[in-house]
């Protein structure tokens, strides 16, 4: 290949290519790397945190967590279950394929897993 037939990059064209490449990388990372629920769903996370505070206040007052069938949640997309080992899972549905973010009281961690958010 001769020098005459090679593409000669000019500074503005090179800058546009680099900007487009950078945007593509940022977009790919945003799609592929799961975000914590606090950033992805801030309002729903606040609703769950309010429910957690109510659960803990109930336990402090009565010595046990409330029955999930009688515990009123703020939103229909939220779920609350008790485990046999006196821990609870509380979270919310999102997306089209029954994905869930949930908080497990035993580990005090958030999970993005349908399996973790199911009752035992």
Distance (Å, rounded) from C-alpha 80 to C-alpha 48?
Answer: 10
pLDDT computed for residue 92 by the predictor: 85
pTM for the full predicted model: 0.65
| CATH number, domain with residue 92 | 3.30.1300
| The dihedral sign for the CA sequence 43, 31, 114, 95 | positive
Domain count, the chain: 1
Residue 14 lies in a domain: no
Domain residue limits at 45: 37-112
Phi, psi angles (nearest 5°) of residue 107: -95, -15
Contacts of 56 by beta carbon, 8 Å cutoff, 6+ apart: none
Give the start-end residues of each E strand in the chain.
78-82, 88-94, 99-104, 109-112
For residue 65, being part of any structural domain is answered with yes
Within a domain: 18: no
Task: Give the distance, in angstroms, between the CA of residue 85 and the centroid of all CA atoms in the same chain.
Answer: 25
3-state SS assignment for residue 28: helix
List, for residues 70-111, the tens digit of each pLDDT value.
988 888 888 898 988 888 999 888 766 667 788 889 899 888
Structural domain contains residue 81: yes
Residue at 75 is within a domain:
yes
Number of neighbouring beta carbons within 10 Å of residue 73: 17
User: What confidence tens digit (pLDDT) does each residue in 8-61 have?
Assistant: 656 677 778 888 888 888 877 766 666 666 666 778 888 989 999 999 999 999
Residue 120 above 60 pLDDT? Answer: no
Q: How far is CA 43 from CA 23, 69, 114, 115, in A?
A: 28, 24, 20, 23
Establish if 119 belongs to a structural domain.
Answer: no
> What's the pLDDT score for residue 63?
92
pLDDT for the residue 86: 83
**Residue 66 is assigned to a structural domain of this protein:** yes
Please tell me which residue, 53 or 6, carries the higher pLDDT value.
53
Residue 12: the pLDDT is 75
The model's confidence at residue 114, banded by pLDDT at 50, 70 and 90, is low
């Amino acid at each position: 290949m001769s020098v005459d037939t090679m593409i000669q990059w000019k500074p503005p064209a090179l800058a546009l290519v680099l900007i487009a490449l950078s945007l593509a990388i940022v977009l790919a990372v945003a799609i592929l790397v799961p975000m914590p629920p606090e950033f992805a769903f801030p309002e729903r996370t606040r609703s769950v945190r309010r429910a957690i505070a109510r659960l803990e206040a109930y336990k402090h007052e009565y010595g046990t967590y409330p029955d999930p069938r009688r515990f009123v949640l703020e939103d229909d997309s939220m779920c609350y279950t008790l485990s046999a080992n006196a821990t609870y899972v509380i979270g919310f549905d999102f997306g089209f394929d029954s994905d869930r973010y949930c908080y497990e009281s035993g580990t005090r961690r958030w999970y993005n897993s349908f399996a973790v958010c199911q009752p035992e």
